[in-house]
Structure 1
Amino acid sequence: MKGLITMVYRQVKRFVNARSRLVMSIVQPIIWFVFFGMGWSRAFSFPGARQMFGGLDYLSYLASGMVAMTILTGSFMSGLSVIWDKQFGFLKETLVAPASRKEVIIGRALGDSLVVVFQSLVILTLMFFLAPGLNPYGVVPAVLYGLMLALGFASIGIALSTKLSSMEGFQMIVNLITMPLLFLSGIFYPINTMPDWMKILAYLDPATYAVDGMRYWLTGVSSIDPALDIGLLTVLTVIFLVFAAKVFEEATIED
């Protein structure tokens, strides 16, 4: 387990030393919440609007989604560190190191996931001041859903970056993937208000189950059984981890 523990420690230490990364990861969701959330909250202030959001005001509905958004975007972008390591030769060292590649990739994904979950906790703390209706007793189970989401998408981000060498290309692909995932997951509006064809895509989106589960524990509102949320999320996370481990196992020094 030394390889796993070492990679977890390295990823966490890199985050501690990169303070600008913490600042930017907090600023982006806050900008979305202030300019998007507060603007639309006025649009949804008419009588009966709360029924669309399970009885919640729009800010409370959006707040739990912003936490999931932080985790989704942050975990996916963790693949950038792999490309960075390629350019400076560290990835080659991990490929030839006397440690299991599975340990290395799982440790890397876990370390990045812990970092992203910490960032989401900072966002969640701020949300308690900005949005009413959040349940402080739901923080722990919500974090569990967030950790599963982070592990899954960090694995995909790392697997994708293993095959790429351009940071610009990686960022373009990630943006292309994450935008539909964000809007389909129910972060900004309920799934039951979507067109039928979009609902099908929403239920194929792994982030949907994390958002729904986190929203249930933080607000009490859910459109899917929370047990089904965590079950499907766990299965998908394991699949993503196995896929990332396989890709990393097959990676060569020339990649």
Structure 2
Amino acid sequence: MTSSDTAVQAPDYGFSHDLRVVKVVLQRDIFRFLHDVGRAVSMLFQGVMMLFVIGVGFGSLVPSAPGGADLTTVMFPGVITMVVIGTAMSSAASIVSDREFGFLREMLAAPARRIAIALGKVLAGALLATFQGCLILAMAGFAGIPYAPSLLLTLVGMMFLVALTTSALGVLIATAVKSIEAFMGVSQIAVMPLVLLSGALFPVGNLPAFLGAVTLVNPVTYAVDPMRQAVFAHVETTPETEALFNPGITWFSWQVPWTLEVAMVGGAGLVFLVLAVARFRRAEH
């Protein structure tokens, strides 16, 4: 018997095995989310508060033009984006808690490639965040937005893209921190300023020059703007209201097309996903 016959062969996990691992990780995170009713309800409640309390309250200070959209309509795409980003980041926090309780080490010791586990985590966060966003989307009629099938499909597609990008970013952050407190702190510092300075909660048409420059380099801006353009394409407004509430994004007087904005968000998501998978494979858990 030769040494090659007695050598222990390293397990060769095929594509079908990786898919099963992704499915198991995905199912576990979904069941975990469904059993954590408080987290789901709190995220939904925050979105409703943003949309109907802040939107109606501040909307009374900014009355809509005749035949135009009110502030609740303007805020709707931004509120969806905030809920999606918040849920995706919260889902990624499960990696940190799993590490603290030792469950992540058991997962990594299982016969599964780390890349499959990381992809399962990213996909779970994206699907859960999209589901939460759809709950807000169901309230579109209360914000004066029609339930047009083309609009709903566009918004759901954008929600999933934003959720996938944010979930990959969350997994990347989760592999670099050691405690849930550190993760929440880093995620708040990384995400909240970007959301607040993206025009999610207010129109960016009349911002001061320095804030306008910040919105141009803010990646979340390019997630909110295509959704807002899709909404305004299905809402009857005056040209004045359109110019104020939906000015679009311009680079040196060039109007950035929404297709390029979507491509930029998708490209950022791909970069975060590659970095998250690479970091997850190298990290010691």
Identify the match of residue 49 of structure 2 among 31, 36, 49.
Answer: 31
What whole-Å deviation, never above 9, does each CA across 1:11-58 have from its counterpart, x for those lacking one? 11211222222211110111122331111111111658x9xxxx4221
Q: Is the contact between residue 135 and residue 218 of structure 1 (CA under 8 Å) also seen in structure 2?
A: no
Which of 240, 243, 251 matches 2:275?
243
| Cα distance in 2, alignment partners of residues 6 and 222 from structure 1 | 44
One of 179, 198, 214 as aligned partner of 1:201: 214
Contact 1:117-1:143 at 8 Å conserved across structures: yes
Give the equivalent residue in structure 2 for 1:133. Answer: 145
Deviation, 1:174, is: 1.7
Instruction: Give yes or no for the alignment of 1:233 onto 2:265.
Output: yes
Q: How many angstroms does 1:216 deviate by? A: 2.1
Q: Aligned match of 2:70 in 53, 57, 82?
A: 57
Unaligned runs of 5+ in 1: none
Aligned to 1:252: 284
Q: Cα RMSD over matched residues?
A: 1.9
- Aligned pairs for 1:1-255 (under 5 A) are 1-45=19-63, 55-128=68-141, 130-137=142-149, 138-220=151-233, 221=246, 223=248, 224-253=256-285
Instruction: Provide the C-alpha distance between the structure 2 equivalents of 1:135 and 1:152, rounded to a whole number of angstroms.
Output: 26
Letter aligned with residue 121 of structure 1: C
With the length of structure 2 as denominator, give the TM-score of the two structures. 0.80
Query: How does the TM-score come out when normalised to structure 1?
Result: 0.89
Runs of 4+ residues deviating >4 angstroms: none
How far apart, CA to CA, are the structure 1 residues paired with 2:153 and 2:160?
Answer: 11
CA distance in 1, matches of 2:118, 2:48: 31
Q: How many residues align?
A: 247
How far, CA to CA, are the matches of 1:222 and 1:110 in structure 2? 33
CA offsets 1:95-135 (integer angstroms, 9 cap, x no match): 2222221221111111111011101111111232x211345
* Contact 2:172/2:272 (<8 A) preserved: no
Q: Specify the SS of the correspondent of 1:78.
A: helix
CA contact (8 A) 1:139 1:218 kept: no
For the 8 Å contact 1:135–1:219, the answer to whether it is kept is: no
Counterpart-to-counterpart distance in 1, 2:178 and 2:170: 13
Higher-helix-fraction structure: 1
Q: Please identify the structure whose Cα radius of gyration is greater.
A: 2
